[in-house]
Amino acid sequence: MTKFLALIAATLLAFAAQAGDKDKTHDMKTTATFDALDKNADSQISKTEASADSKLSDNFAALDTNGDGYLSKAEFMAKGKT
């Protein structure tokens, strides 16, 4: 019986840990990455700032939908929708 309860407790703990990790990953994929790339904190990613991420750099022209040479947060977020 004790063993059974311990197993349930362990399962619940593992589940809680998994849920926590999921939230963390989600945050990093959205705002944290934008803020990390935006070195001068002007809320836009320049081509130079994007060069830190080769994949972003490759897609820069396609993501810069208004063609001003900078990625706004909205333009940056759109990259996950393709």
CB of 37 to Ca ion, least distance (A): 8
Nearer to Ca ion (CB atom), residue 25 or residue 80: 80
Least CB distance to Ca ion at residue 57 (A): 14
Give alpha helix (H) positions in the chain.
2-27, 33-37, 47-50, 54-58, 60-63, 73-77
The residues binding Ca ion (CB under 5 A) are 38, 40, 42, 64, 66, 68, 70, 75
Q: Which is nearer to Ca ion, 56 or 70 (CB)?
A: 70
As given in the structure block, the two tokens for residue 39 are 């070195």
Contact 79, 63 (CB under 8 A): yes
